Chains A and B, each alone.
Chain A
Amino acid sequence: MVEEFNVVLAGVGGQGILLASQILGIAALKEGLNVVVSEIHGMAQRGGAVVSHVRMGSKVYAPTVMDGKADAILGLEPLEALRNIKYASTETLILVSTETLVPAGVSVEPINYPRLETILDAIKGFTEKIVLVDALKLAREAGSVITRNVVMLGALAATKILPLKSEALKETIKELVRPAYLNQNLKAFDLGLNEISKLF
């Protein structure tokens, strides 16, 4: 029986963090696990930084992950992965979408968005277990850039650390995604899964 499994999902408002968290949460419930999914709504969503916590297992109560206790961090944007890196230990697996998004509003002034390598080096100060995912490319291949979140879920499933079967995730996607967008989301999941399965 799983006692505690923690995923932190980080990204930018509009990237589908909430949907990805909900898919993980409902799939966990399908697999008979206790689950806690914590989201932030409202003001935080208008293009700002978004983070959600998905926790599974019999000993899980708190809405948020304790610092140093994430099993995986799913970064839909590199800088946002780094912003939440204090949840990581040396054992934590970090999956990062390599697409960088420069914060809006700072574009009036000269932009100091760090180089991707610099961000990854900073993450390596916490854990060496980093998996890079070209989620944008795979999402385009699936039919729409908006499926980046589901590509990342497929990638997470490929790492085999989730206490969930891929089928449970796919079943949940079928329940939650509107029919018009379903095929591209299922394709996005498989593309993420197949691409990262090569590494595991």
Chain B
Amino acid sequence: MSKLGSILLEDSPGKRVLLLGNEAVARGVFEAGIGVVTTYPGTPASEIGDSVSLVAREAGIYMEYSVNEKVAVETAAGAAISGVRALSAMKHVGVNVAADALMTLAYVGVRAGYVIVTADDPNCYSSQNEQDNRYYALLSSLPMLEPSNSQEAKDMVVHGIEISEMLELPCLLRTTTRVSHTRNPVTLGKLQKARVKGEFERNPRRFVMVPANARIQHKILLEKVKKAKEISEKSIYNQILREGKEIGIITSGVSYNYVIEAVDALNLEAGILKLGMSHPLPEMKISDFLKKYQKIVVVEELEPYLELHVRAFAKDHAPETEIYGRMNTDLFPKFGEFSTRLVVEALAKITKKKVPVEFEEIDKKFAETSKLLLPRPPVLCPGCPHRASFYVIKRATGGKAVHPTDIGCYALGIQPPLKIGDVLICMGASAGTACGISKVIEEPVVAVVGDSTFFHAAIPALVNAVYNKHRIVLVVLDNLTTAMTGHQPHPGTGLTGLGVSGKRVLVEDIARGCGVEYVGVVDPFKVKEAIDVLKKALMHDGPAVVVFRSPCALLVTAEKRRKGEKIVSARVVAEKCTDCLACVKLLGCPALVVEDGRVVINDALCVGCMLCASVCPYDAIKLEVE
């Protein structure tokens, strides 16, 4: 077993280990006696499911990569309703997908503990937006816990299950990227044996949400919120961590870490109230804290969620207290993530103290160097089959089509020279937006979607295209894995989260089943054949699906390394090369480098996919062995 795997299942309470926030959540699964874990991978949540997947079979629990977050929540809820503890993990936007289930699951509740992890992504490190999912707790009336480090991430899984069972409600656990992807020391707790078999007790009044029952269950939910508030008032996670004279600070989650260092850096005598249970908020505890200070600062990333509540509580309980936050100052931006510097500067302004570092001088010097800083954006890997697919699309369409794109590595296709990607919204939206665009413009619409994303959310839009006769071509970039998030399996791979074979579901079978009349499957590295298949799809009167199937280059090279096979790279035959730079200009592969006007292939990067050879007009690129 891997090192992480053995830590996750090690029964040595008190031992200190270094864990990523996400790994700590996974450890929490085994300390909380959770029997069913479901997830759909998405950064920054992915390592939760992956870590559980490593050891689920050995631990004797059930784990699955569900087809999307809604199904993940429904599956886990099914288990929790039937008396088995469960956890689901997803990124923040995944909760949007699951929201329909979530909102009414709150009425139904659970019989065994159920924790839903939402990993938010301030600064959009790997996301299409930076929405603040604390509002889902408010919207659904569900309790929410917010860890600020790995230790709390683990402990709050256990505590979340306790709260969930006390209230018979799912409990939300919200992390942010800097909690999910930060390693901290964690003291291990006791392992709990999971119950994996439950029983379904029929109770239609509670579990069948027809209107008559839903009206009653809503009232029951509101009663549970009152009880949750009592829990919040007493929670050890809603804690005054420092008493001070000058100023009071209210914070939660990752922001607490910046606050405590900023307070030390400024030598402030500040009181700090840290709110680890951020829904429902402890009104009395917060109000007592407000009464002690003339000035209160609310430090939280993204939306003014705490601030709105704090202002409301202050109006009733401490009207004299001045409150500083993003609603009345510009010290805390409503976008991006915080840093110690940002909090230091804000607190310094509010308390009229001098900052301990000459930040302005640093900024001035840094601005002078910025002209040297060439951008280094992420790019499609050398050997990536998406590069071949995009080249084929450009050739087949003559560059005249509109290309809705989707969530995955292939979003990197927007960069020159390929520039495939005209609109990107959310999972599956390539197919949906293509329907509308095709209805109102004359140019062809060729949408691209990844394999995992196709299964996740594109199928209903494809059925819509068939039913309503939208003339779109949906290109499914099938690289046989969920590449961007770390190579998780999906229905098209036929492997499951337990590492055993499931039934393989093929994209082309689904497309035909949906009623698509033109379905092509081709390897995009067979450039001529692929262009031909796509051209036929473009001529087809009605929706068409083309599957470009070729495995992710990272998987191919990893497999070769594992087998001890040599990775043979391409080379330029100097006497044939005319320095036309067609390969470079058409493909933008990182392994093709121009030195003094000549193309050189970087053999440390090239994996020998030979796409460049197939676009070279002079047959000047060969495999190293030839």
Binding site for B on A (CB under 8 A): 12-13, 22, 25-26, 29, 34-49, 59-64, 66-69, 79-80, 82-83, 85-86, 89, 102-108, 111-114, 118-119, 122, 125-126, 145, 175-176
Contact = CB atoms under 8 A, between A and B. Distances in A.
Contacts of B394: none
Interface stretch (B205-213, B360-368, B425-433, B437-445): B360-368
Contacts of B17: 29
Contacts, number: 173
Contacts of B264: 59
28 contacts: A29-B16, A35-B184, A36-B182, A41-B44, A41-B181, A42-B44, A43-B43, A43-B125, A43-B126, A44-B126, A47-B378, A48-B376, A48-B378, A49-B376, A59-B261, A61-B257, A61-B258, A62-B340, A66-B357, A67-B359, A69-B357, A83-B373, A105-B588, A106-B375, A118-B372, A122-B372, A145-B604, A176-B3
B552 to A, nearest CB: 12
Contacts of B375: 103, 106
Contacts of A45: 378
Contacts of B3: 175-176
The 6 A-B pairs of least Cβ separation, nearest first, read: A104-B590, A42-B126, A42-B43, A48-B378, A46-B378, A37-B183
Interface string B158-194: 0000000000000000000110011111000000000
B369 A85 contact: yes
Given A68-B359, A85-B369, A63 B584 contact: no
A80 B369 CA distance: 12
Contacts of B381: 46-47
Given A44-B125, A68-B362, A175-B3, A35 B181 contact: no
What secondary structure prevails in chain B residues at the interface with A?
mixed
Given A38-B178, A64-B339, A69-B357, 16 more contacts: A25-B183, A29-B185, A36-B183, A38-B181, A38-B182, A41-B46, A42-B125, A43-B43, A45-B378, A46-B379, A48-B377, A62-B340, A63-B254, A66-B265, A79-B374, A108-B585
Interface residues of B, number: 67
Interface string B472-504: 000000000000111000000000000000000
Interface string B226-262: 0000000000000000000000000000101110110
A186 B172 CA distance: 44
A10 B432 CA distance: 40
Given A42-B484, A43-B126, A82-B373, A105 B415 contact: yes
A67 B341 contact: yes
Contacts of B44: 41-42
Contacts of A60: 261
Contact of B590 (A44, A47, A68): A47
Contacts of B339: 62, 64, 66-67
A118 B368 CA distance: 12
Given A37-B18, A66-B339, A105 B590 contact: yes
Contacts of A43: 43, 125-126, 378, 484
B412 to A, nearest CB: 7
A27 to B, nearest CB: 10
Contact of B416 (A61, A105, A119): A105
B350 to A, nearest CB: 18
Given A35-B185, A67-B341, A47 B126 contact: no
B18 A66 contact: no
B358 interface: yes
Contacts of B20: 39
Contact of A61 (B43, B260, B372): B260
B610 interface: no
Interface in B1-32: 3, 16-18, 20
Contacts of A118: 372
A66 B362 contact: no
B409 interface: yes
Contact of A46 (B149, B265, B409, B604): B409
B615 interface: no
B103 interface: no
B593 interface: yes
Contacts of A79: 372-374, 376
B327 to A, nearest CB: 24
B142 interface: no
A68 B358 contact: yes
A113 B362 contact: no
A61 B179 CA distance: 11
B417 interface: yes
B380 interface: yes
Contacts of A61: 149, 256-258, 260-261
Contacts of A42: 43-44, 46, 125-126, 484-485
A105 B341 contact: no
A68 B362 CA distance: 7
Of the listed residues B357, B363, B379, the one surrounded by the most CB atoms of chain A closer than 10 A to its CB is B379
B383 to A, nearest CB: 12
Contacts of A102: 593
Contacts of A29: 16-18, 185
B178 A63 contact: yes
Contact of A26 (B18, B372, B415, B594): B18
Given A61-B261, A125-B365, A126-B365, A105 B379 contact: yes
A36 B178 CA distance: 11
A117 B439 CA distance: 57
A45 B379 CA distance: 9
A150 B344 CA distance: 35
A85 B125 contact: no
Interface string B538-549: 000000000000
Nearest to B177: A40
Contacts of B257: 61-63
Given A48-B379, A102-B593, A63 B182 contact: yes
Of the listed residues B16, B341, B369, the one surrounded by the most CB atoms of chain A closer than 10 A to its CB is B369
B592 interface: yes
